[in-house]
Amino acid sequence: MPTDARQPGLASLLEAALPKVVVAPSFAAMLVFIYGFILWTLYISMTKSTFLPTYDFVGLAQYIKLWRIERWWVACRNLLVYGGLFIFFCTVLGLMLAIFLDQKIRIEGALRTIYLYPLALSFVVTGTAWKWLLNPGLGIERLVREMGWSSFTFDWLVTSEMSIYCVVIAAVWQSTGFVMAMFLAGLRGIDDAIIKAAQVDGAGLTRIYWKIIIPSLRPVFFSAFIILTHIAIKSFDLVVVLTRGGPGYSSDLPATFMYAYAFTRGRLAMGAASAMMMFAMVMAIIVPYLYSELRRKRDA
């Protein structure tokens, strides 16, 4: 007698649903804790909430106020300066170190370990270390003076116009190794035959690097730029430890601004508005990046 199995059995239906059941909690958590929370923050930013959330809708009033606050402008200007310098120095130094390390260096392993260890450190630890090194009384300033240059001054940490550069110094120190690792991986991925072909064509080493190798690292430049921008916008710990945003609020960044307004000054709505502005900045960079990445993968 023929067994008819046109209808799937209960067991196989359950088996088929299993993958969905298994990821369902994560999916729910993502919806609530990421997307739901973003929407909530967005809503709060359109209210007059102070210490406690209230739900009286005031539209974009907080955003308009935000862009009238001098401190927010300082934070954004600082982000531009800090982000620009941070990205520039990390990329240039990282690329240089990667190219030099790729020249069949005998002690490459040891050097790589040294360049990368700052990445294992918390920004809090990095900040603590550099706070001490940049200490105007006892740090580098003192060291140089003791070495004979008695008029040397290096007091950026306590100077309003310069304190943000201290953050740059510490951040570059921490993240250069990372960029180097990315470039090194990129360099190792280049087909040797291309370099051999260029040599056969009579190109010198410098020319090969400028004309062939560095241009072919374009995707790495792109990724590095995205990641460094992302790090810059999220920067918080380093500033808190190194300068506490000061002197005054001269070295504030959007992240410290948000924390100050939302958690210490009890201006929830303003904090939420500044958080949404940060979110917008990150999305403006990440969404096109992810879009192109995903599309490239689909094409590949």
Min CB(200)–other proteins separation in Å:
18
How many chain residues are in contact with other proteins, going by CB under 8 A?
106
Phi, psi of 47, deg, nearest 5: -125, -175
What track of x and - describes contact with other proteins for positions 216 through 235 (by CB under 8 A)?
A: ----x--x--xx--x--xx-
SS3 call for 57: strand
Rounded Cα–Cα distance for residues 150 and 143 (Å) = 10
Min CB(81)–other proteins separation in Å:
19
Measuring CA to CA, which residue among 34, 73, 54, 57 is closest to residue 279? 34
Instruction: Give 76 or 262: the residue with its C-beta nearer to other proteins.
Output: 262
Kindly list the distances between the CA atom of residue 292 and the CA atoms of 45, 233, 283, in Å, as whole numbers in the listed order: 31, 21, 14
Measuring CA to CA, which residue among 126, 162, 145 is closest to residue 236? 126
**Does residue number 240 form part of the binding site for other proteins (CB under 8 A)?**
yes
**Does residue number 249 form part of the binding site for other proteins (CB under 8 A)?**
no
Which residue bears the tokens 């088996």?
15
For residue 130, the tally of other CB atoms under 10 A from its CB is: 22
Q: Which of 213, 260, 268, 270 binds other proteins (CB under 8 A)?
A: 268
Rounded Cα–Cα distance for residues 126 and 168 (Å) = 12
Q: Which of 79, 101, 171, 270 binds other proteins (CB under 8 A)?
A: 101
Q: Tell me which residues in 110-139 interact with other proteins (CB under 8 A).
A: 111, 113-133, 135, 138-139
Min CB(215)–other proteins separation in Å:
18
**Does residue number 150 form part of the binding site for other proteins (CB under 8 A)?**
no
Q: Tell me which residues in 76-95 interact with other proteins (CB under 8 A).
A: 93
Q: What residues pair up with 47 in beta bridges, in sequence order?
A: 57
Min CB(148)–other proteins separation in Å:
12
ω into 8 cis (within 30 of 0): no
Q: Tell me which residues in 163-192 interact with other proteins (CB under 8 A).
A: 173, 177-178, 181-182, 185
Measuring CA to CA, which residue among 222, 190, 213 is closest to residue 292? 222
Q: Tell me which residues in 4-43 interact with other proteins (CB under 8 A).
A: 4-9, 12, 15, 18-20, 22-23, 25-27, 29-30, 33-38, 40-41
Min CB(226)–other proteins separation in Å:
8
Q: Six-digit token pair at 74?
A: 């300082």
